[in-house]
């Protein structure tokens, strides 16, 4: 204490420029020096403050907290200066309270430990908090009023936004469909050009060669070329039928006609015509046990579907391979299985196989329009049936057709 008494003037000089109150506390928690700002802040004279425990400047309920904070600073074992802060409620001499932010700073002088306490009056900030709270409350009221006033406007804007969003979505959809249509038209023209060019070239070549073989001994060669011409014409006719089917299906003009017909006859006709397309060594195995069966269904669609699948099996199978045609008769449906041992369908392409104009990556160099399976699927589903398949690359595919039967009539 003697040190601060001897340097009292120096201490007061240092603290005059500080807006916060400052006191020096010894290890017993007694104030041994105080700044003039401290006297003014708490309303005590210098003689009243010196020798007072620091808790004397704090309200009763915070005295213990203050004492604990001071002791904690003194008792820190580290051999360094210690700074700690806490928020407490101070009490003036006239019992008026003031909110404080107190910073404790431990230091040593001539081997003794002291604590400097810096008092910051938080009254202004507290008042600001109150003002801010009041302003906040007023602002909330204004917001509520504005919200009520704008509610109807917001509702109108939302409806308008939904209307515009719907219109924009419709416009985007229309533009997308137009782009897709243009792409399909381009693809269609490309497919038509490619698909017609090859068979027409074959017809022209064979027709030219037929004219060169005029003697009776050349009949076998002439028949060979005529056979090629017939096959190419049928191929072109099949392509045209596919294109016409697409147009009728899109316009809803397709009419289905159910009639009674021989199951074996339609299967035999389809296989007979397909035999003209067989590669060297290929063979089609006929189904068994269908000779005495008459069914009622759309004969043209059954023939179309079987022809498409059988032609695909021939096209995508190598030479010297067998193709099986199996028929399963049930009470309410007939099931056809076309089984080949060809190149199969890549796994990543299988989900797209019934999409119009889609062709798997392993057949892009093979003739085809990519619309046959799409047409078959549409016809079968229109008749209440279904088409499905299983396939493994390089091992072959099995395509299955299910037609519902209106009646299955055994022959007498």
**351 confidence band (pLDDT: 50, 70, 90):** very high
**358 confidence band (pLDDT: 50, 70, 90):** confident
90 and 59 in contact (C-beta within 8 Å)?
yes
Q: In angstroms, rounded to a whole number, what is the distance separating the alpha carbons of residues 65 and 60?
A: 10
pLDDT digits (tens, 9 = 90+) for 74-100: 887 665 556 677 888 999 999 999 898
Out of 150-159, 225-234, 296-305, least confident range: 225-234
Average pLDDT over residues 55-61: 92
**288 confidence band (pLDDT: 50, 70, 90):** confident
Q: In angstroms, rounded to a whole number, what is the distance separating the alpha carbons of residues 267 and 305?
A: 11
Residue ranges per domain, the chain?
2-121, 127-196, 255-410
**280 confidence band (pLDDT: 50, 70, 90):** very high
Work out the mean pLDDT of the chain and round it to a whole number.
Answer: 81
Structure tokens at 267: 């299967």
Average pLDDT over residues 348-358: 86
CATH architecture entry for 2-121: 2-Layer Sandwich (3.30)
pTM, two decimals, is 0.47
Average pLDDT over residues 167-187: 75
- Measured between alpha carbons, how far apart are the two ends of the chain, in Å? 133
246 and 357 in contact (C-beta within 8 Å)?
no
Mention every residue, 6+ apart, whose C-beta is less than 8 A from residue 131. none
Instruction: Give the three-class secondary structure for 17.
Output: coil
Q: Phi/psi zone of residue 5: left (φ > 0), alpha (ψ -120 to 50 degrees), beta?
A: alpha
**217 confidence band (pLDDT: 50, 70, 90):** low
pLDDT digits (tens, 9 = 90+) for 30-40: 999 888 888 88
Instruction: Give the three-class secondary structure for 295.
Output: strand
pLDDT digits (tens, 9 = 90+) for 94-118: 999 989 888 888 888 787 888 989 8
CATH architecture entry for 255-410: 2-Layer Sandwich (3.30)
């Amino acid at each position: 204490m003697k040190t601060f008494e001897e340097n009292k003037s120096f201490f007061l000089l240092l603290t005059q420029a500080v807006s916060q109150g400052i006191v020096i506390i010894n290890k017993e928690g007694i104030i041994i020096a105080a700044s003039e700002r401290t006297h003014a802040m708490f309303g005590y004279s210098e003689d009243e403050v010196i020798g007072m425990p620091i808790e004397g400047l704090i309200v009763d309920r915070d005295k213990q907290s203050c004492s604990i904070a001071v002791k904690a600073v003194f008792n820190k074992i580290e051999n360094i200066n210690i700074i700690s802060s806490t928020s407490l409620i101070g009490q003036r001499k006239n019992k008026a309270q003031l909110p404080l932010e107190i910073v404790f700073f431990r230091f040593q002088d001539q081997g003794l430990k002291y604590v400097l306490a810096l008092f910051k009056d938080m009254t202004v900030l507290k008042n600001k908090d109150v003002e801010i709270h009041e302003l906040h409350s007023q602002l909330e009221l204004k917001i509520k009023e504005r919200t009520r006033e704008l509610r109807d406007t917001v509702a109108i804007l939302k409806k308008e936004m939904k209307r515009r969003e719907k219109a924009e979505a419709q416009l985007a959809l229309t533009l997308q469909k137009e782009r897709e249509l243009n792409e399909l038209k381009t693809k269609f023209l490309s497919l038509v050009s490619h698909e017609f060019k090859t068979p027409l070239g074959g017809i022209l070549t064979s027709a030219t060669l037929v004219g060169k073989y005029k003697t009776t001994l050349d009949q076998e060669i002439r028949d060979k070329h005529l056979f090629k011409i017939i096959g190419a014409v049928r191929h072109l006719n099949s392509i045209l039928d596919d294109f016409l089917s697409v147009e009728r299906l899109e316009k809803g003009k397709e009419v289905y006609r159910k009639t009674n017909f021989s199951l074996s006859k339609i299967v035999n006709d389809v296989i007979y015509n397909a035999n003209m397309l067989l590669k060297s060594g290929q063979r089609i195995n006929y189904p068994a046990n269908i000779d005495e069966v008459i069914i009622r269904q759309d004969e043209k669609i059954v023939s179309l579907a079987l022809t498409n699948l059988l032609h695909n099996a021939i096209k995508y199978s190598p030479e010297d391979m067998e193709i099986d045609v199996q028929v399963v008769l049930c009470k309410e449906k007939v099931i056809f299985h076309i089984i080949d041992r060809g190149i199969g369908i890549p796994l990543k392409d299988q989900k797209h196989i019934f999409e119009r104009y889609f062709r798997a990556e392993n057949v892009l160099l093979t003739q085809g329009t990519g619309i046959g399976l799409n047409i078959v699927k549409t016809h079968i589903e229109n008749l209440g049936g279904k088409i499905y398949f299983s396939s493994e690359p390089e091992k072959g595919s099995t395509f299955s057709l299910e037609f519902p039967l209106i009646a299955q009539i055994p022959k007498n």
